[in-house]
Amino acid sequence: MPPSRVPEPAPAVGAVLEEFVRHLGLERGCSAHTVRAYRGDLLPLLSRIDDVAAIDLALLRRWLADGHAGGAGRSTLARRAAAARTFTAWAHRTGRLATDPGALLVSPRPRTALPAVLDPAETGSLFDAAVSGAAEGEPAAVRDLLILELLYATGMRVGELCGLDVDDVDEERRAVRVLGKGGRERTVVYGVPAATALRRWLDGGRRELARPGSPPALLLGARGGRLDPRIAREVVHRAVAAVPGAPDTGPHGLRHAAATHMMAGGADLRYVQELLGHAKLATTQLYTHVTVERLKVVHEQAHPRA
């Protein structure tokens, strides 16, 4: 049975909601996807009231309790609570609420388990196959190899990858300027295999796919336009599916694999944070679980009472 449609809020409340989402996009620099997510999370809350001033802690708690009763998981409830807190803080700051009830709202912590990732051997098999496919020189295969190489080498998000322009790449320094979440810019580096794939793409594949009206995008689709993230996801899923025993994963899985493998190799946590573009170190600390086995080996080798 399809989920019931959430009714639109009262006109006055709806006008406030639209002003809030404009604030998210224009002032906070949130992506269109993030803005839609906020609006979707807040609609069931705001459709309960006729005036924003009616929001209080009891209403927020009932809203989350109803979500829990309806089967919403911990992560969903935590995300909704975060959206509500952001909204009530803004409403208080702009004079629409006398106090900020969201500041007192407690929500369940989402579970932070990471998805299964490719191990180093599976990653090697993935690239062996991609390199072999690109060797024939077919433009899409050359591009697909670059997609895989850059996602794994830099840990960038698929939207960040598809948003790159040719001028964002500094081949001499093997560095890429990336525009991440919230408009935050960072620089990431890549290694020799990605550099080789990049040069092959720029020398041949991109020139063949480019059209007179093509944008300055680094990655192009079959018709010469900027590569759609959906196509990049399909490329990764198809490549991973060809690796025997590998977990089903997409671009975000390669991002997880990059961070996991670097942490296992002894990379500094702050560097991995910068590589991934995490605003908070706590987000990057999810990857520290992979170092436990390495720590055990070091402990057994170095500690006198191991």
Q: Tell me, yes or no, if 256 is annotated catalytic.
A: no
Distance CA 82, CA 102 (A): 9
pLDDT of residue 136: 86
Of 61-70, 119-128, 216-225, 281-290, the poorest mean pLDDT is in 281-290
Q: Is residue 23 part of a domain?
A: yes
Same domain for 132 and 95: no
Q: Which of 85, 255, 256, 261 is catalytic?
A: 255
Q: In terms of Cα–Cα distance, which of 284, 242, 75, 258 is closest to 158?
A: 258
Respond yes or no: is residue 299 known to be catalytic: no
Give the three-class secondary structure for 14. helix
Phi, psi of 209 (to 5 degrees): -85, -20
CATH code of the domain in which 218 resides = 1.10.443.10
pLDDT cut 90: percent of the chain above it = 52
Asked if 152 and 224 sit in the same domain, the reply is: yes
* Same-domain pairing of 84 and 130: no
Active site residue 38: no
In a domain, 287, yes or no: no
Q: Is 157 helix (H, G, I), strand (E, B) or coil?
A: coil
Give the DSSP per-residue string, 73-128: -HHHHHHHHHHHHHHHHHHHHTTS-SS-GGGG---PPPP-PPPP---HHHHHHHHH
Catalytic residue selected from 61, 181, 233, 237: 181
Residues 158 and 56 in one domain: no
Q: How does pLDDT run across 2-28, given as a tens digit for each residue? A: 445 667 889 999 999 999 999 998 888
In a 3-state reduction of DSSP, which class is residue 299?
Answer: helix
Q: Is 278 a catalytic residue?
A: yes
Per the domain annotation, does 57 fall within a domain? yes
Is 167 or 111 the better-scoring residue by pLDDT? 167
Do 138 and 169 lie in one domain? The reply is: yes
234 and 125: one domain? yes
Res 148 pLDDT > 80: yes
Confidence of residue 50 (pLDDT cuts 50, 70, 90): very high
Of the candidates 38, 152, 190, 287, the residue annotated as catalytic is 287
Tell whether 168 and 88 lie within a shared domain. Answer: no
The DSSP-derived string for 23-66 is HHHHTS---HHHHHHHHHHHHHHHTT-SSGGG--HHHHHHHHHH
Tens digits of residue pLDDT in 165-220: 999 999 999 999 988 777 778 888 888 999 999 999 999 899 999 999 999 999 99
Average pLDDT rounded to a whole number, residues 39-60? 94
| Res. 105: pLDDT tops 80 | yes
Is 68 within the bounds of a domain? yes
Whether 243 is covered by a domain: the verdict is yes
Q: Which of 36-40, 58-62, 202-206, 246-250 has the weakest average pLDDT? A: 246-250
> Regarding predicted confidence, which is higher, 65 or 116?
65
139 and 211 in one domain? yes
Q: Which of 80, 85, 157, 206 is catalytic?
A: 157
Give the end of a domain, one of 209, 227, 251.
251
Tell whether 300 is covered by a domain: no
Closest CA to 21 of 1, 7, 40: 40
* Residue 226 binned pLDDT confidence (cut-offs 50, 70, 90): very high
Residue 158 · residue 232 · CB < 8 Å: yes
**Is 95 part of any domain?**
yes
**Together in a domain, 16 and 98:** yes
Residue 96: CATH number of its domain: 1.10.150.130
One domain, residues 97 and 137: no
Residue 99 sits in the same domain as residue 24: yes
More confidently predicted of 71 and 209:
209
* Boundary (domain end) residue, out of 79, 104, 129: 104
Given 143, 206, 261, 278, the catalytic residue: 278
Distance CA 168, CA 154 (A): 14
Band of residue 303 on the pLDDT scale cut at 50, 70, 90 = low
| Residue 23 designated active-site | no
State the Cα–Cα distance between residues 296 and 302, nearest whole angstrom.
10
The total of structural domains in the chain comes to: 2
Query: In this structure, is residue 142 part of a structural domain?
Result: yes
Q: Is the dihedral of CA 274, 275, 280, 283 positive or negative?
A: negative
**pLDDT tens readout for residues 254-277:** 888 888 787 777 777 676 777 777
75 or 144, which is more confident:
144
Instruction: Supply the range of the domain harboring residue 184.
Output: 120-251
Query: Whole-number mean pLDDT of the chain?
Result: 85
Q: Distance from first CA to last CA of the chain, Å, rounded?
A: 57
pLDDT for res 11: 93
User: Do 126 and 97 belong together in one domain?
Assistant: no
Q: Which helix (H) or strand (E) holds 185?
A: strand 185-189
pLDDT tens sequence across 55-69: 999 999 999 999 888
Catalytic residue flag (residue 296): no
